Amino acid sequence: MLVHQIDRLLDKEAKKLTTLQFAMHLPASNLDYHYSSTGNQHQAFHSASVGKLLTSTLVFIAIEKGWLTLDTRVQTILKPGLLNHLFVVEGQDYQDEVCVRHLLAHTSGINDYYSSKTAKHSSFLKQIRENPDVFWTPEDLLDYTMYQQEAIARPGQKFFYSDTGFVLLGLMLEAIFEAPFHDILDTYIFKPCHMTETTLAFYGSTFEAGELAPLIINGHDIHLFRSLSCDFAGGGLSTTAGDLLLFLSALHQGRLINQESLRQMADFKHQYHRGLYYGLGMMQVRFGEFFFLLRGMPDLQGHWGMTGVHACYHPQTGACFVLNVGNDKDMARSFKLLIKLLRLLASQGQL
């Protein structure tokens, strides 16, 4: 009965969306559910910023190995000169103050190449759209922020969401693990979680852009663009709803990092938007802050992406949810759909 109700709801919503993938795991009833509007339950899609949750997990794996701490200075790991001009505020260079904690929490003060305007008021999204064949290396992304943007604040002073900061985390992980970022993901996350359908876009040997679901940014489908290589450690995964479920379950169960590390990731000190909070590479949604009639709905934690990608779980029950709509204009609609699904589950005693 419940499965048929979910099917009907998703069939109805899929007619309004570019694409729709949904999967969930409910430990209490041992229910696994998968849906895709393409008819392919293994439909690949771009992870958007959900990939940051995996990057952050790798950081805590390194911490548990004793290779760094949250207070390790970034400057001591990356090659000299890489941080030049990235953390200059009012003529003062603060690169020697930036630590791992700042990057994970988006409080380093570094600007954001992806969504911030440049000093000349141009947009990186315009670069992606108008130059679809350009391949962006991590160093190219740092150069973009270095030469076309200015730091936001001194490290530790302000929360400012930054993809550039996660590029630095990816390069730090490469230096610490002495391996390419895509190989680190494969060794420490994909293989242990049996995520056979996930790879780092444009880097993994199994990546095929043509297998991705549509990815609409500002009205343009860019899923075939080589310029989509701009995401790297900030979220550039080709993945499936089923694979992200495997990751969320392993993360919640302590099979990737221990519970103390998970507790630190889930220290949600910073408000991202109303109802959305940020910890150390992990987000939390508090539905009751969206609208007073949603009070009493369970808080979820995990990560969200701007194209309507959700990968989240309920820490009290271990219930996991993955949703993708593949369109930045449908972000609000994707949250409304998630709310409808959660209400349906609650009405059936599943949450």
Amino acid sitting at position 123:
S
Amino acid sitting at position 296:
G
This prediction has a pTM of 0.96
Q: How many CB atoms lie within 10 A of CB 260?
A: 12
Q: For each of the domains in the chain, give its residue range(s) and CATH number, in order of start.
A: 2-52+195-347 (3.40.710.10), 54-177 (3.40.710.10)
- What does the pLDDT look like over 272-321, one tens digit per residue? 999 999 999 999 999 989 887 788 888 999 999 999 999 999 999 999 99
160 contacts 150 by C-beta, under 8 angstroms:
no
- Residue 289, phi then psi, degrees to nearest 5: -85, -15
Please tell me the distance from the alpha carbon of residue 313 to that of residue 249, in angstroms, as a whole number.
Answer: 8
pLDDT score, position 118: 65
Residue 200's closest CA among 246, 233, 241?
233
Indicate the pLDDT class of residue 351, thresholds 50, 70 and 90.
confident
H-state helical runs in the chain: 2-14, 51-64, 100-105, 124-130, 138-148, 163-177, 181-185, 191-193, 241-252, 259-265, 331-347
